[in-house]
Amino acid sequence: MPVITYREAVARALREGLTEDAGMFIMGEDVGAYGGAYAVTRGMLKEFGPRRIVDAPLSEAAIVGACTGAAMGGLHPVAEIMTINFTLVAMDQIVNHAAKIRYMSGGQYHAPLILRTVTGGGAQLASTHSQSFEHWFASVPGLKVVTPATPYDALGLFRAVREEEDPVLFIEHILLYSARGEVPDERYTVPIGKADVKRKGDDITIVAYSRMTPVALAAAQALEAEDIDCEVIDLRSLRPWDKETVLESVKRTGLGLVVEETWRTGGFGAEVASTIQEEAFDYLDGPVGRVAGEEVPMPYNRALEQAAIPSPEKVAAGVRKALNR
């Protein structure tokens, strides 16, 4: 099976969409002549032209607002917001307009907007450029939120996202673009709202998403030396999220640990942990654990930044605590 990078998988998904869907276009900052802030749209301006690859002014509110209107008018826009931090200045357009238009119009309008953006820390971009807000959007009815962790899932999920009639946030992690993985040439899709068991195990269930999936897998591999067998589940989607797969796993292992990069307070991990506690309590051998980012603005200093983000070592420590090892 061919091996490609996460960046190549997203670029392939976009090219495929632009080729197959005459109504699709991409609008964002530096998506055209510059080739995208993360080189995902490189070459697309020459290939598809300026009506399909639209360089926008530095106004995220304008980008999302224009794309929402275009989606309501029958087109299929892809709004690229350079980082999820910049969605803060387009929050009204995302939450009050795109997410609600079907409901507030009684079904007369819908907005099949795809909003691509980049989340996460680890690239030394300091506090205002290294945040993870996907859990915020996952709390909003009318939105769907996907967080692929592998090239396979990035391509497959984007294909599924294209079939949606309402807005979807397609959230990529800044440190995953160089990650490599197998992606078949044959067409496939990954359904929105379906988790993936990335590693089978019997002792504890680790639930993660986005970049914390490879972090959890690294911890599970290291714990093999201690005869600890971890099952690792990648949620892949936060809204909707696949509680059935998580609950089935926890009922079998008897223990759960939720891992995410954002702050523990108000994180999506609380939703997962509370659901396990409510619906699988009788199967638990101990409390559901959580590993999350430190409760600080992301530091710029490299050593401090790494200390603020969950690592395989922190996840392994969380597993040992859950197992009383």
Q: Name the band, by pLDDT with cuts 50, 70 and 90, for residue 149.
A: very high
pLDDT at 286: 97
Measured distance CA(110)–CA(105) in Å, rounded: 8
Measured distance CA(236)–CA(245) in Å, rounded: 12
**Token couple for 126:** 């300091």
Residues contacting residue 68 through CB under 8 Å, at least 6 positions apart: 93, 97, 98, 101, 111, 113, 167
- At 33-48, the pLDDT tens digits run 999 999 999 999 999 9
Measured distance CA(146)–CA(81) in Å, rounded: 15
Q: List Cα–Cα distances, 106 to 78, 94, 100, 109, in angstroms.
A: 24, 18, 10, 8
Q: Which amino acid is at 65?
A: G
pLDDT at 300: 97
CA 235 to chain centre: 9
Q: Active-site residue 76, yes or no?
A: no
Mean pLDDT calculated for residue range 202-218: 98
Mean pLDDT calculated for residue range 142-166: 98
Mean pLDDT calculated for residue range 145-172: 98
**Token couple for 92:** 């009204």
pLDDT at 291: 98
Bridge partners, 168 (sequence order):
114, 144
Which domains, and CATH codes, for the chain?
Answer: 3-182 (3.40.50.970), 196-323 (3.40.50.920)
pLDDT at 251: 98
Measured distance CA(265)–CA(112) in Å, rounded: 32
Measured distance CA(238)–CA(114) in Å, rounded: 15
- At 261-320, the pLDDT tens digits run 999 999 999 999 999 999 999 999 999 999 999 999 999 999 999 999 999 999 999 999
Bridge partners, 118 (sequence order):
172
Which is nearest to 151 in space by CA: 17, 245, 13? 13
**Token couple for 218:** 């690294």
DSSP state of 51: T
pLDDT averaged over the chain?
A: 98
Question: HSE on the CB side for 287, CA within 13 Å?
Answer: 5
Measured distance CA(160)–CA(62) in Å, rounded: 26
Please identify which of the residues 97, 110, 129, 135 carries the catalytic annotation. Answer: 129
Q: List Cα–Cα distances, 170 to 17, 149, 236, 237, 262, in angstroms.
A: 14, 11, 10, 9, 17
CA 220 to chain centre: 21
Interior angle at CA 54, CA 119 and CA 180, nearest 5: 40
Question: HSE on the CB side for 163, CA within 13 Å?
Answer: 8
Q: Name the band, by pLDDT with cuts 50, 70 and 90, for residue 79.
A: very high
Q: Name the band, by pLDDT with cuts 50, 70 and 90, for residue 221.
A: very high
**Token couple for 40:** 């995902």
Which is nearest to 268 in space by CA: 278, 259, 277? 259
Give the containing element (helix H, strand E) for 10. Answer: helix 6-20
pLDDT at 276: 98
The number of residues in the chain equals 325
Q: Name the band, by pLDDT with cuts 50, 70 and 90, for residue 257.
A: very high
DSSP state of 224: G
Mean pLDDT calculated for residue range 237-258: 98
Interior angle at CA 297, CA 294 and CA 301, nearest 5: 90
Mean pLDDT calculated for residue range 68-72: 98
Q: Name the band, by pLDDT with cuts 50, 70 and 90, for residue 106.
A: very high
